[in-house]
Amino acid sequence: MSALSQEAQSALPFYRPIAHECSLFEMAHAKGLPLLLKGPTGCGKTRFVEHMAARVGRSLYTVACHDDLSAADLIGRYLLRGGATEWIDGPLTRAVREGAICYLDEVIEARKDVTVVLHPLTDNRRTLMIDRTGEELVAPPGFMLVASYNPGYQNILKRLKPSTRQRFLSITFGFPDPATETAVVVRESGLDEGRVAPLVRLAGHIRLLSGMDLEEGVSTRLLIYAATLIAGGMPIERALQAAVVEPLTDEPEVAQALRDVIASVYG
């Protein structure tokens, strides 16, 4: 794919590349290969997909997966409208028909029957079977299936099977290096670099902590929230309480430990 002009780049949803993930996405899209994004919450997976969908010029259907998400939610169902029964396509079916990109965010949360539907779309068949209508759709050029999940939340009951995982190309996402993360937070929040830098240092300290009862470290998303509050005039202590301490824990002892870390950075 030819390089985009600077003007075209500026019109895309903002994303700061970390390595070669953009070129891999472009190649996967051009070759009709599915892609799996792995990484912690709030590290930029969804923004990356939004950026790349715009970059390759395809519509994007995003599905936030959850415990009750079924294959029918993706494919579609018959609904009563005006006294008549009408078939309504789900987001996956619409993406296949249109040659768009379908992004399944946190696919591991979906019900088991979802992976059965995905398998024929992630091999050489590239087909979607709609049992209720008898249709078998062949994905046209341009259709791409992208999924993401957080490996840190896997357990015995919720684990992506090797038979599914090996159908995808994969990219592991982590939190950006300090310079990149600072640039992202400055761009997204409007807060100046001098005040963003301590936020990024704070995030680094929290992510390195061991022995603290945290499922995950502070995300780039939460740093943007904190910086947005500070840019709006909120005192730093209140902004960090609302955007860092409270979202990360409900335990009073852990919250106090986080406040101690904040004091060490801002003291």
Report DSSP letters for 130-195, one per residue. Answer: ETTTTEEEEPPTT-EEEEEE-GGG--SSS---HHHHTTSEEEE--PPPHHHHHHHHHHHH---HHH
Token pair 């070129």 is at which residue? Answer: 23
Question: Residue 145: which of 58, 241, 39 has the closest Cα?
Answer: 58
Same domain, 197 and 154: no
Read off the CATH number of the domain in which 160 is found. Answer: 3.40.50.300
Q: Are residues 210 and 79 in the same domain?
A: no
The residue among 118, 147, 172 that closes a domain is 172
122 plus 210 within the same structural domain = no
Number of domains observed in the structure of the chain = 2
Residue range of the domain that includes 117? 6-172
Compute and round to an integer the Cα radius of gyration of the chain.
21
Spatial separation of the C-alpha atoms in residues 244 and 262, rounded to whole Å: 10
Say if residue 14 is in the same domain as residue 56.
yes
Which element (helix H / strand E) includes 104? strand 101-105
Whether the CB-CB separation of 123 and 115 falls below 8 Å is answered with no
- DSSP string for 52-101: HHHHTT--EEEEE--TT--HHHHHEEEEEETTEEEEEE-HHHHHHHHT-E
Residues 196 and 163 in one domain: no
Distance CA(172)–CA(208), nearest Å, equals 19
Residue 1 falls inside a structural domain = no
Per-residue model confidence as pLDDT tens for the chain (267 residues) = 445 555 555 678 899 898 899 999 999 999 999 999 999 888 999 999 999 999 999 999 999 999 999 999 999 999 988 888 999 999 999 999 999 999 999 999 998 889 889 999 999 999 999 998 999 999 999 999 999 998 876 554 567 888 889 999 999 999 999 999 999 999 999 999 999 999 999 999 999 885 566 778 899 999 999 999 999 999 999 999 999 999 999 999 999 999 999 999 997
pLDDT per residue over 207-237, tens digit each?
A: 988 556 677 889 999 999 999 999 999 999 9
How many other β-carbons are positioned within 10 Å of the β-carbon of residue 13? 15
Q: Are residues 72 and 185 in the same domain?
A: no
In the listed set 172, 204, 232, which residue is the last one of a domain according to the structure?
Answer: 172
Verify that 204 and 238 share a domain, yes or no.
yes
Q: Assess whether 186 and 79 both reside in one domain.
A: no
- 26-62: pLDDT as tens digits: 999 999 999 999 998 889 999 999 999 999 999 999 9
Q: Are residues 33 and 156 in the same domain?
A: yes
- Verify that 137 and 52 share a domain, yes or no: yes
11 with 41, same domain?
Answer: yes
Question: Would you say residue 23 lies in a domain?
Answer: yes
Distance, in Å, from the CA atom of 187 to the CA atom of 135, rounded to the nearest integer, reads 46
In the block, residue with structure tokens 């939460």: 222
